[in-house]
Structure 1
Amino acid sequence: MVGKNVVLSGLSGSGKTTVGKILARELSRFFVDTDRMLEDSVKMDIPRIFDIYGEEGFREMETAAIKKVSKLKNAVISIGGGAVTKKANVNFLKENGLIVFLDASPDVLLSRLTDDTSRPLLASSSLEEKRKKLQSLYRDRYDLYRQAADLVVNADDTPKAVAEEILRELYRRGIKKRDADLKEESMFVEAPSRNYCVRMGYRFFERPLMEFFKTQSVSKAVIVTNPLLNQLACEGFLQLAKKEGLDVEAVLIQDEEEKKNPDTLLEILDKFASLGLDRESVVVAVGGGVVGDTAGLAAAIYMRGIRWIYVPTTLLAQVDASIGGKVAVNHGQRKNLLGAFHQPSLAVTDVGFLDVLPDEIYIGGLAEVVKSAVIEGDLFNFLEENASKIIERDPKAILSAVSSCVKLKSRIVKEDEHDKGMRMLLNLGHTFGHAIEAALGYRISHGRAVSAGMVLETELSHRMGHADARTKQRIVKLLESFGLPVSLEEIGFDLETRDLIKYMRSDKKAAFGKFRFALPFSVGDVRVVECLPEELERLIK
């Protein structure tokens, strides 16, 4: 069910945004406008960007935005009118997209843009001057639009009629509506510090949030997210919430791993203060692990702790970070050095977000699913039997796997909230995995590092006389079926196992001079084992 993006191109006024939203609704897909996403990223509108950076500077930013959104799956994307003037943009979009040229005549464009002053290249002192500029742009770019397009439609008609014509052609080409009739699931996480509900389903995240805001005492809510997710989901929810009379604002942050630091944390806290959040306010983190960790920690320390809700949007966050209340930022060269345990008041796990994830991020998250499956044997059997459906992102199979992971982690958190005993089982693959990340300067994704780490720790268990060869074979085969690395060589860096020991010495899981590993004795039987550094070196040799 992993499909191509539908990309709308054309001059300003051709209806890309309006038509795009209609297509997204009819196809049950997320919609993103690259111009709006760019404005959110640099926190200024396009005319201001042109004033400060010029057209060349704007085009560079536009290419960076297009490169990012082109990695999405199953999305409807509206691009800027001049994006096709750079061949690199077209190449990025065609890798996983079908480009539709909305061909509207200059006279129709002029009628739609008469009072529009937001287009820098159409700025003019008179209507006639704007007409000439439109005609010139149309002539200059027409061939580029046609050459880039997989489909050309006349866009002089109403947006509804244009969208219907596009839909007919998309259906003919096999692009179908993404839909799944899945029953919503709910479960409670019983943590010693706070019990909370996890609601799981498909394309439903707005409903649980609205219900929470309307039934709980909430003075103000702030959504912390990134510019892309703001376009994909949060902007629409904000409009809905404000129509209902709710006081909700958005705080946008960049969510690369290097931004998970005290500076970003302080930036969020400053925004909370300027927006007037009080003890009855609620923070809503919408994003992956970086957003959840940073926004969750901000909620934990603002006014000594206010409520927060987590809407995890990556597979990794849905099966791991969203349960258990661990929130932290990195500092110096240490991962998650500054943090706290702060359980959310609600977690909303919408597997519909996984539809649009880039392959690399989705597949990386599968490493954590496999980790949970090695601990919970029944899930491992399910993954072996349904690997192809998981790769295809079948909503029913994914929801079943995510639900199993959430139930496993919630049982563990109930027994060990603060990572003192049973919760250490969840570190399977992470002692070696964190060392791999550190050794490579975090140039590798967490999921790929954990995958290789899981195999190394299974081999370590085998050399210690615990796991048999069959256990390692099953784990390796499942990881390989998901396209995950099973050795240091596959990671693609010059790294040997013995190089990792020095990084393990500073791992927060180490204690009293010993390394701690969660080692699989068999599928469904993982135990915490301590090992002296010299013993580990001997076993490696």
Structure 2
Amino acid sequence: MTTSDRTHLAAPPLPPGRSSLVVTGFMGTGKTEAGRRAARLLGRPFVDLDAVIERRTGRSIAEVFQQEGEDAFRSLERTAVADAARLSGAVIATGGGAPLDRTSFARLAEDAVVAVLTCEEPELLRRLRHDRDRPLLTHDPPGRITLLAERADAFAAAGGSLDTTALDPEQAATALVERFRSTTSAATEVRIAAGSSTVVVGPGTVAELGFELRRAVPEATAAAVVMDEAVEDTAGASVEEALRRAGMPVLARAVVPAGEGAKRVETTAGLWNTFLACGLDPTGVVVAVGGGTLTDVAGFAAATYLRGVALANVPTTLLAMVDASLGGKTGIDHGGRKNVVGAFHDPVLTVADTTLLGPLPIRLIREGLAEVVKAAVIASPLLFELLEGDARRVLADPALLAWVVEQAVRIKAAYVSADPRDRHLRHSLNLGHTFAHAIEAATAYATAHGEAVAIGLVAAARLGAAVGVTDPGMAARLEALLVRLGLPVTVPDGVDPAALLEAMTADKKRRSGRAMFVIPAPGGVDLVEDPSPDEVLRALRPEAAT
């Protein structure tokens, strides 16, 4: 395979989410411990950027300084700061020198609350007098305190100060939380722009659906609700109540059978008939409530009825929240192929209420997390590392899961905004999917989509390593993470390799008749066109390769 067979797609900037709390300041002021405790009080993830650098290099900060020098460390620190700037809603503790690079620190501080911890010099010397793990203190601790004066301007420009001289870590954390809450909204939801759409993410947001819809479509007069039969008595009923509370008449409720079998032209025609019978006109809104299959078929019905009426999505599965309900792709299956008939039809509003995930079987949560892992690989290295460290807690902690949804939605929204009609950059979102679609087809859809994506992600990393683009260790890291999340990473036994190749040949994601694969690459992904059948099979089943 030659370089000309590859195209690099860089990850785009991400839209804002909830504000982060950034804790910085001179060494010894208590950034790490106060930041960690503040994160616990706020129910937010905690990121210690010095620990990130140590994890990435496999060495202590002192060893990095000793072996490579301060300039090399500052380069690693800039990368860590840039990666942290792609997160939202976290508590982030930086190294004491991070504000010196004002350009990178300004990106981290944008939309964040920054607290610069300070401490009076005598107390600082007392705290540091026995500390020999800090490289800048190794030879002359009192003399190195002069760095504090040298950095004074950078710290002053970074944000407001918090004196920790007389505070223990818990008191400092409490002061940080009070400052953060006094500066930011107490709302747990976040509004994210995805092209022409608005996505509202957070617990309990369905209750405000009607009012959000009136804000998004002031001219809307009535709604027709299309719901998956699996949520008719739960999310479906909540949606109807929320619409009525906002004074939005519900003209009809259509219940669609669960499963991929509903994505047929007959289902779509049935929805058209329902819309006609209830008198839905161009001022009406179709509200789709369910998983990705439901939002696909209901969205397609909305796109084609009266040449297009407004659509609002209320995804009820994790996979739908982070992927299927966002971006305007709608469609049905035909001729034995998935989504071969469809249209782009952007929802005016998507409400991702994370409390709807509570009753779901754990298998459906795991499926959605495969798409979250994909999003992290293509656009957020620190999200990927946080998932590696907290994989099991994501499955058990609703607050952490809601935060993960926020990150994944921001990533999907960035690609949708940059490439609304999937012409180029948005192809990045297909990482692992050419493999996944082939696995689904070759197993007659006995393998669920999220599970197939998990297998496809590992295969894509192997293919990327084989062509010299992807870090050789990425496939093993992905495999370990996905296994901890309870997802499969190998092709099911008994699947015919020829059937896999045939399915990939038929995949709709082809360009000029050539199969297209997405592989992880530094700063984004590479598109690889037409790798050899042997390369593809070796990526999927390395143990069976000849």
- TM-score under structure 1 length normalisation: 0.62
Partner of 1:252: 255
Partner of 1:364: 367
Distance 2:294 2:486 in 1: 26
More deviation, 408-417/366-375: 408-417
Map residues 110-509 of structure 1 onto 2, 5 A cutoff.
183-190=188-195, 195-213=196-214, 216-239=218-241, 241-242=243-244, 245-248=247-250, 249-376=252-379, 377-392=381-396, 394-488=397-491, 491=492, 493-509=493-509
Distance 1:226 1:416 in 2: 29
Partners of 1:299 and 1:306 within 8 A in 2: yes
Amino acid at match of 1:359: I
Partners of 2:331 and 2:343 within 8 A in 1: yes
Partner SS, residue 505 of structure 1: helix
Cα displacement (A) at 1:375: 0.7
Partner of 1:100: none
- Over 3 Å counting, the alpha-carbon distance change for 1:326 and 1:208 in structure 2 is same
Cα displacement (A) at 1:472: 1.3
Distance 2:394 2:325 in 1: 20
Distance 1:388 1:322 in 2: 26
Cα displacement (A) at 1:226: 2.0
Cα displacement (A) at 1:227: 2.7
- Over 3 Å counting, the alpha-carbon distance change for 1:278 and 1:454 in structure 2 is same
Partner SS, residue 515 of structure 1: strand
- Over 3 Å counting, the alpha-carbon distance change for 1:413 and 1:244 in structure 2 is closer
- Over 3 Å counting, the alpha-carbon distance change for 1:495 and 1:182 in structure 2 is farther
**1:218-267 deviation line (CA, Å, top 9, x unaligned):** 22201110233120132244345446653113111112111111111111
- Over 3 Å counting, the alpha-carbon distance change for 1:378 and 1:537 in structure 2 is closer
Partner SS, residue 527 of structure 2: strand
- Over 3 Å counting, the alpha-carbon distance change for 1:207 and 1:514 in structure 2 is same
Partner of 2:36: none
- Over 3 Å counting, the alpha-carbon distance change for 1:306 and 1:532 in structure 2 is same
Partners of 1:320 and 1:406 within 8 A in 2: yes
Cα displacement (A) at 1:447: 0.6
Distance 1:226 1:470 in 2: 41
Distance 2:235 2:517 in 1: 39
Cα displacement (A) at 1:418: 1.6
Amino acid at match of 2:514: K
Partner SS, residue 232 of structure 2: helix
Partner of 1:77: none
- Over 3 Å counting, the alpha-carbon distance change for 1:379 and 1:498 in structure 2 is farther
Distance 1:451 1:243 in 2: 41
Partner of 1:150: none
Partner of 1:529: 528
- Over 3 Å counting, the alpha-carbon distance change for 1:258 and 1:535 in structure 2 is same
Partner SS, residue 194 of structure 2: strand
Partners of 1:501 and 1:533 within 8 A in 2: no
Partner of 2:48: none
- Over 3 Å counting, the alpha-carbon distance change for 1:291 and 1:467 in structure 2 is same
Amino acid at match of 2:526: R
Cα displacement (A) at 1:511: 2.3
Distance 2:524 2:230 in 1: 40
Distance 2:242 2:375 in 1: 36
Distance 2:238 2:519 in 1: 45
Partners of 1:513 and 1:532 within 8 A in 2: no
Partners of 2:419 and 2:425 within 8 A in 1: yes
Cα displacement (A) at 1:534: 4.9
Amino acid at match of 2:505: R
Amino acid at match of 1:380: F
Distance 1:239 1:532 in 2: 52
Distance 2:325 2:383 in 1: 19
Partners of 2:365 and 2:395 within 8 A in 1: no
The sequence identity of aligned pairs, in percent, is: 37
- Over 3 Å counting, the alpha-carbon distance change for 1:188 and 1:519 in structure 2 is same
Report which structure shows greater RCO (CA 8 Å, sep ≥6). Answer: 2
Distance 1:265 1:536 in 2: 40
Distance 2:355 2:337 in 1: 33
Partners of 2:228 and 2:291 within 8 A in 1: no
- TM-score under structure 2 length normalisation: 0.62
Distance 1:497 1:463 in 2: 19
Distance 2:322 2:246 in 1: 32
Amino acid at match of 2:193: F
CA RMSD, 1 decimal: 2.0
Distance 1:479 1:534 in 2: 26
Cα displacement (A) at 1:208: 3.0
Amino acid at match of 1:400: W
Distance 2:478 2:536 in 1: 24
Distance 1:349 1:460 in 2: 34
Partner SS, residue 417 of structure 1: coil
Distance 2:481 2:516 in 1: 25
Partner SS, residue 483 of structure 1: coil
Partner of 1:517: 517
Partner SS, residue 328 of structure 1: strand
Distance 1:370 1:384 in 2: 10
Aligned residues: 352
Partner SS, residue 248 of structure 2: coil
Tell me, which stretches of 5 or more residues in structure 2 are unaligned?
A: 1-185, 539-544
Partners of 1:516 and 1:528 within 8 A in 2: yes
Map residues 21-36 of structure 1 onto 2, 5 A cutoff.
none
- Over 3 Å counting, the alpha-carbon distance change for 1:182 and 1:485 in structure 2 is farther
- Over 3 Å counting, the alpha-carbon distance change for 1:187 and 1:463 in structure 2 is same
Distance 2:281 2:450 in 1: 37
Distance 1:427 1:199 in 2: 24
- Over 3 Å counting, the alpha-carbon distance change for 1:509 and 1:237 in structure 2 is closer
